[in-house]
Amino acid sequence: MITRIQGKLTRLEGEAAYLESGDFEYEVLVPEYTRRQLQHQMDRTVRLFTIQFFEGQANQGRLTPRLVGFSSEVEREFFELLCSVDGMGMKKALRAMGRPVKEIAVAIEQQDVKAVSSLPGIGPATAERIIAKLRRKMPKFALMVTRDEVVAEVTPDVVEETFAFLVKIGHPEAEARRLLNTALAEKKSYPDFESLIHAIYQKQKTA
């Protein structure tokens, strides 16, 4: 299993990025959002986090290996969750990821069928299946930050645990997300759940 690939981005064609690494050039399928990020990195060394699929009919002996790549491990994890929904294969999930993962995750978490069904290749029925299966798994994706945002040093698991705790003790989801975002914007280190919760309530006291 190839889980990561690094090389010079030689070209982008359709839904594929081509990376030159050593004596080899690799074709890596990427979602539209990732492709747009890569457009500004031609002829530079890039790194993609990958997952491997086999496309074709096994009973006919026609299986073609495909690499699918993402800018981060979290985006790859989100893609795998999408693929787990009934009716969502690799190609359909890849096509659906035309917007930032954070934006899609917020729509799923808020049960916004209209927003989810507006994704490429996703109709209302599929959107409802996605929401029903994935809604409770979205907090850490909904709280993702972009590369350009100032962020704290904290793992996605700590963020997810803190969000779940805030909701459990009575904070509405929107408020819990706001409290987390305020603390994370401080650009501090939160090695565990307790330190992040302490920072959130300290922030409230001084507000």
Q: Where are the beta strands (DSSP E) in the chain?
A: 4-13, 16-21, 24-29, 45-57, 62-70
Stated as kind and residue range, the H or E segment containing 80 is helix 73-83
Tokens of 132: 């029903």
Q: CA angle at residue 11 from 9 to 12, to 5 degrees?
A: 110
Q: How many residues does the chain have?
A: 207
| Residues 9, 38: Cα–Cα separation, whole Å | 8
Question: How would residue 61 be classed by pLDDT, with cut points 50, 70 and 90?
Answer: low
- Coil vs helix vs strand at 118: coil
pLDDT digits (tens, 9 = 90+) for 140-185: 788 765 544 445 567 767 877 888 888 888 888 778 878 887 887 7
Q: What is the pTM of this model?
A: 0.72
| Residues 115, 137: Cα–Cα separation, whole Å | 18
- Rounded to an integer, the average pLDDT of 53-74 is 83
Residue 173 is predicted with a pLDDT of 76
- Which residue did the predictor score with more confidence, 192 or 80? 80
Closest CA to 156 of 193, 182, 110, 185: 193
| Residues 32, 38: Cα–Cα separation, whole Å | 10
pLDDT digits (tens, 9 = 90+) for 32-60: 989 988 988 999 999 999 999 887 776 66
